[in-house]
C-alpha cells in the first residue's frame, strides 16, 4: 500500500518534473487569425502547418493530436482515445465527439479478482489493462464530418516526425527513464526508446519511430476501416491475445466513435460548454455553479479564504462524480446534478462543511495530452487524448509501433478499491463489456454573447478537473492573461484521500493559514498541466503550461 500511495502522488506530478528546471520557450503567443496550443512544440507546429495550408481547426486539431502521439508517446497515441469539443462557426453550434476506449466483450466486473481478492496491478500493467482504442475512429469521424482535408494530409507532419526523428524533450526523457524497466522488457519498445546498451537516452537524443510512421501511412485515407479491420486489427488482437489478454479482432471491428450532445451552463455572463458523460464535464459545471455568486475577486486570488472555498467546492464536485459513468449503461441524473436546487444545496454544504468529519466518497487518466485550436473562420476545437498512465499498459505492438493504453484502470476495479489515482470505484463505473470508463478529461469552450471567448483543457488525471476550473476562474473572474492564468499556482482536492494537494509555489504563509483552518495538506512540486486560448476579434492569445512544456503558435 505504501508503494501504491507513492505512485499516486508521483502520477499527479510526474509530467512536469521533467521540465521543472528546463529552459522553455515563451509560454504564450499572440496572433490575429489562428492559434494552436499543445503539450509539444513540434505538435503545435504540425497543427499550424495544416492551418497555413488552408485546413480548418478540425484538420489542425487532428494533425496536432497525431503528432502528439509521436512526440509525447508516453501520454497519447493511436493506442488510446479521448474527447473532442468542437464549435463550428458557420452553424454557431457545438458538437461533442466521444472516442473514449471501451471494455472488450470478454471483460467483466470481477475480471481482476484473484482468489477472491482484487489484483489492481492487472488493470495497470499488461494485456488485461488494455481497452479497445478509439483514437483513430475519433479522428476519422471528425474529419469526415467537419474536416476539409484527407487523413494522409493531416497525418503528414506526424509521419515525418516519426520517420525522420525529433529531439527528445525533457518531458519524454524523464518519462522514459521512469518507465525504463518496462520498456526494456519489450524488444520493439526498447529499440525505439532506449539506447543500444539499454540505458535511457538523454534529452536532445533524436528519436525515430519508423514502425509508427509505416502504420500511419498504412491507414490511408480511410483510417477507421484500415485500423479496425484487416491487417492492423489482426496484428493488435493477435499480440494482445498471445500476451494473455482478452481483446479480439471483433472488439476492434465493433468500435464506434460517438457524437454526443454537449452540456452547458451559464457562468458570470458567459455560457460554458463541456463534454457530457463519460467525461466529468458536468462536474466542472457544478463546481462553477457553486462558485458563481461567491464574489471571488473580493476574496483575493489564491488567498487562504479563496483556496478554502475552492477546496470545499472541489470536494463536493468529486462526491457527485461518483454518479457519473457511461450513459449507455447507467442513468446519470444530470437533470438533478445540474439543477439550481442541487447546486444550491451543494454550495451550502461546501460553505458550512464540518472539517472534523470528512466524508469519503465513492468516486479517474494521466498519460494524457491536451490541445486547443482556433482558426481564421472562428472554428474552435478543444481536444484531450490519453493512454491513461505513463506509456499506458507498458506494451507496444510489434511491427506497428503502437503503445497500448491501460484505460481499464479508469473503471472501478472492484468495490471500494481505489485506482491508481486513489479514486474509489463506484458501482456506476464498474466494468461491463463494451462500456466506456469514466474520465477526468474536461475540454471546454466558453461563449459570451454567442461568440467563443476562451477554450481550455488539461492533462493530469483527476487534477484535470481542478486545473481547468482554476484556469477558467483566473481568466473569467480575475481577468488574467492566458500565460498568467495557466502559470498561477494551483491546489487539488478530490475528497479521497482526506487532504488538499498544494503546489510548492503557494507561499508558506498561505499553507500555514489553511492548516490552521483544519485542512490536511500535501505539498507537491506541481499539479497537472493546462493550456488555454483567449479569443477576441483579431486577437488570439494562447499559452501552454510551464509545468509540462509545449508550444503555442499562430499567424
Q: Where is pLDDT greater, at 72 or 293?
A: 72
Could you tell me which CATH class the domain 260-365+443-554 is placed in? alpha beta
Number of Cβ within 10 Å of residue 369's Cβ equals 33
Is the pLDDT at 8 greater than 90? The verdict is: no
Higher pLDDT among residues 352 and 147, named by residue:
147
pLDDT of residue 26: 76
Among 11-15, 132-136, 341-345, 362-366, the minimum mean pLDDT is found in: 362-366
How many residues appear in the chain? 555
Q: Which of 26-35, 142-151, 340-349, 415-424 has the lowest mean pLDDT?
A: 415-424
pLDDT single digits (tens) 434-486: 999 999 999 999 999 999 999 999 999 999 999 999 999 999 999 999 999 99
Task: Work out the pLDDT band at 418, boundaries 50, 70, 90.
Answer: low
The pLDDT score that the predictor gives to residue 417 is 56
Q: 380 or 10, which is more confident? A: 380
Question: Residue-wise over 153-174: b if at least 16 C-beta within 10 A, else e?
Answer: bbbbbbbbbbbeebebbbbbbb
This prediction has a pTM of 0.92
- Classified as helix, coil or strand, 238 is helix
Average pLDDT of the segment spanning 76-95: 98
CB 326 within 8 A of CB 437: yes
For the annotated catalytic residues, the residue numbers are: 368
Return d(Cα 104, Cα 431) in angstroms, integer.
10
Highest mean pLDDT, choosing among 21-25, 60-64, 183-187, 418-422:
60-64
CA dihedral 396, 399, 402, 405 (to 10 degrees): -40
pLDDT the model gives residue 381 = 98
Please say if the pLDDT value at position 425 is more than 60.
Answer: no
Closest CA to 334 of 273, 380, 408, 281: 281
What pLDDT score does 35 carry?
98
When pLDDT is cut at 50, 70 and 90, the band that residue 427 belongs to is confident
As a whole number of Å, the end-to-end CA separation of the chain is: 50
Q: Write down the pLDDT at residue 5.
A: 43
Sorted by where each begins, the domain ranges of the chain are 29-257+369-429, 260-365+443-554
Amino acid at each position: 500500500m505504501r508503494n501504491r500511495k507513492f505512485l499516486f502522488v508521483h502520477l499527479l506530478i510526474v509530467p512536469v518534473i521533467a521540465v521543472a528546471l528546463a529552459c522553455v520557450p515563451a509560454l504564450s503567443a499572440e496572433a490575429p487569425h489562428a492559434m494552436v496550443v499543445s503539450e509539444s512544440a513540434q505538435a503545435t507546429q504540425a497543427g499550424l502547418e495544416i492551418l497555413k495550408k488552408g485546413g480548418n481547426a478540425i484538420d489542425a486539431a487532428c494533425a496536432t493530436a497525431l503528432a502528439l502521439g509521436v512526440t509525447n508517446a508516453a501520454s497519447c497515441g493511436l493506442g488510446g482515445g479521448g474527447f473532442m469539443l468542437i464549435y463550428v462557426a458557420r452553424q454557431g453550434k457545438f458538437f461533442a465527439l466521444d472516442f473514449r476506449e471501451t471494455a472488450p466483450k470478454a471483460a467483466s466486473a470481477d475480471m481482476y479478482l484473484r482468489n477472491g481478492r482484487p489484483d489492481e496491478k492487472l488493470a495497470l500493467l499488461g494485456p488485461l489493462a488494455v481497452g479497445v482504442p478509439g483514437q483513430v475512429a475519433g479522428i476519422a469521424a471528425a474529419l469526415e464530418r467537419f474536416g476539409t482535408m484527407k487523413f494522409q494530409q493531416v497525418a503528414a507532419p506526424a509521419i515525418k516526425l516519426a520517420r525522420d526523428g525529433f529531439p527528445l524533450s525533457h518531458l519524454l526523457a524523464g518519462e522514459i527513464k521512469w518507465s525504463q524497466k518496462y520498456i526494456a522488457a519489450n524488444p520493439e519498445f526498447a529499440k525505439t526508446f532506449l539506447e543500444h546498451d539499454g540505458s535511457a537516452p538523454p534529452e536532445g537524443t533524436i528519436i525515430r519511430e519508423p514502425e509508427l510512421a509505416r502504420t500511419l501511412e498504412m491507414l490511408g485515407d480511410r483510417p477507421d476501416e484500415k485500423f479496425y479491420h484487416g491487417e492492423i486489427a489482426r496484428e493488435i488482437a493477435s499480440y494482445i491475445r498471445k500476451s494473455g489478454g482478452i481483446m479480439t479482432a471483433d472488439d476492434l471491428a465493433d468500435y464506434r466513435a460517438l457524437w454526443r450532445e454537449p452540456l452547458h451552463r451559464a457562468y458570470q455572463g458567459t455560457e460554458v460548454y463541456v463534454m457530457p458523460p463519460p467525461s466529468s464535464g458536468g462536474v466542472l459545471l457544478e463546481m462553477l455553479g457553486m462558485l458563481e455568486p461567491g464574489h471571488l475577486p473580493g476574496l483575493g486570488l489564491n488567498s487562504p479564504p479563496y483556496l478554502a472555498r475552492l477546496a470545499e467546492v472541489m470536494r463536493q464536485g468529486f462526491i457527485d462524480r461518483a454518479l457519473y459513468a457511461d450513459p449507455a449503461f447507467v442513468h446519470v441524473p444530470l437533470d438533478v446534478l445540474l439543477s439550481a436546487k442541487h447546486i444550491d444545496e451543494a454550495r451550502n454544504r461546501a460553505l458550512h462543511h464540518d472539517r472534523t468529519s470528512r466524508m469519503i466518497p465513492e468516486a479517474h487518466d494521466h498519460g494524457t495530452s491536451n490541445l486547443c485550436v482556433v482558426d481564421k473562420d472562428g472554428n474552435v476545437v478543444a481536444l484531450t487524448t490519453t493512454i491513461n498512465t505513463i506509456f499506458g499498459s507498458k506494451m507496444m505492438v510489434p511491427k506497428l509501433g503502437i503503445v497500448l493504453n491501460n484505460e481499464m484502470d479508469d473503471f472501478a476495479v472492484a468495490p471500494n478499491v481505489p485506482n491508481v489515482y486513489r479514486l474509489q470505484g463506484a458501482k456506476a463505473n464498474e466494468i461491463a463489456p463494451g462500456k466506456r470508463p469514466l474520465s477526468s478529461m474536461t475540454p471546454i469552450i466558453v461563449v459570451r454573447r454567442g461568440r467563443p471567448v476562451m477554450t481550455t483543457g488539461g492533462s493530469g488525471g483527476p487534477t484535470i478537473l481542478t486545473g481547468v476550473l482554476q484556469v477558467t476562474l483566473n481568466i473569467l473572474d480575475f481577468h488574467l492573461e492566458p500565460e498568467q492564468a495557466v502559470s498561477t499556482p494551483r491546489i487539488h482536492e478530490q475528497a479521497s484521500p482526506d487532504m488538499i494537494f498544494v503546489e510548492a509555489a503557494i507561499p508558506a504563509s498561505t499553507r500555514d493559514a489553511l492548516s490552521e483552518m483544519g485542512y490536511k495538506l500535501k505539498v507537491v512540486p506541481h499539479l497537472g498541466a493546462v493550456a488555454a486560448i483567449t479569443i477576441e476579434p483579431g486577437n488570439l492569445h494562447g499559452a501552454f503550461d510551464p509545468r509540462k512544456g509545449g508550444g503555442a503558435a499562430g499567424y
